[in-house]
């Protein structure tokens, strides 16, 4: 029941009806517009964030779909709603839209550079993968902050 409540909160927040809790990290779009090296072709590809859609509305899935253009080709990263629930349980915070884009972008760069799918149009992450890439994106952001 709690999970359904959090998912409804997420849908309302995404619709702009409920203010979100502020995550202490401020992402200025590290993964909104980036380049990655395709492992197999050794070609640099340009990735641009384009959209975030609650997948319940479009494909009846319990996920948030984040669309990127990879050299102009659409690629979707599906982040499961239960990851929002698990993250809130662990930290007391919600995953914000900008943080979701960073998670998806971090995963996309990883997938391209590790050779997991230049020709794939859709990637569906598990809860574990989502939280792993969330932690990695946050660590990159915190590590890139100037000290003092």
pLDDT for the residue numbered 25: 47
Do 44 and 35 touch, CB atoms closer than 8 A?
yes
Q: Considering Cα of 114, then 120, then 125, then 130, what sign does the dihedral take?
A: positive
Pick the closest to residue 95 from 58, 67, 54 (CA basis): 54
Do 123 and 78 touch, CB atoms closer than 8 A?
yes
Do 65 and 58 touch, CB atoms closer than 8 A?
yes
Q: How many whole angstroms separate alpha carbon 42 and alpha carbon 40?
A: 6
pLDDT for the residue numbered 56: 78
Task: Indicate the SS3 state at residue 5.
Answer: helix
Do 98 and 145 touch, CB atoms closer than 8 A?
no
pLDDT for the residue numbered 41: 86
pLDDT for the residue numbered 55: 77
pLDDT for the residue numbered 5: 57
Specify the residue for token string 């102009």: 72
Q: Taking the chain (148 residues) in consecutive chunks of 10 residues, what is each chunk's mean pLDDT?
A: 58 53 53 89 92 81 92 95 94 92 95 84 95 92 57
pLDDT for the residue numbered 141: 77
For residue 50, how far is the Cα from the chain centroid?
Answer: 12
């Amino acid at each position: 029941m709690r999970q359904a409540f959090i998912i409804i909160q997420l849908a309302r927040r995404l619709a702009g009806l409920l203010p979100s809790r502020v995550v202490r990290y401020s992402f200025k779009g590290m993964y909104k517009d980036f380049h990655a090296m395709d492992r197999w072709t050794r070609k640099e590809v340009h990735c641009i964030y384009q959209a975030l859609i609650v997948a319940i509305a479009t494909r009846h899935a319990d996920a948030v779909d984040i669309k990127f253009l990879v050299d102009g080709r659409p690629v979707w990263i599906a982040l499961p709603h239960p990851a929002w629930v698990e993250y809130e349980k662990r930290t007391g915070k919600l995953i914000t839209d900008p943080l979701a884009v960073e998670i998806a972008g971090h995963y996309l760069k990883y997938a391209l550079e590790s050779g997991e799918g230049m020709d794939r149009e859709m990637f569906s992450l598990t809860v574990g993968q989502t939280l792993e890439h969330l932690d990695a994106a946050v660590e990159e952001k915190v590590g890139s902050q100037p000290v003092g």
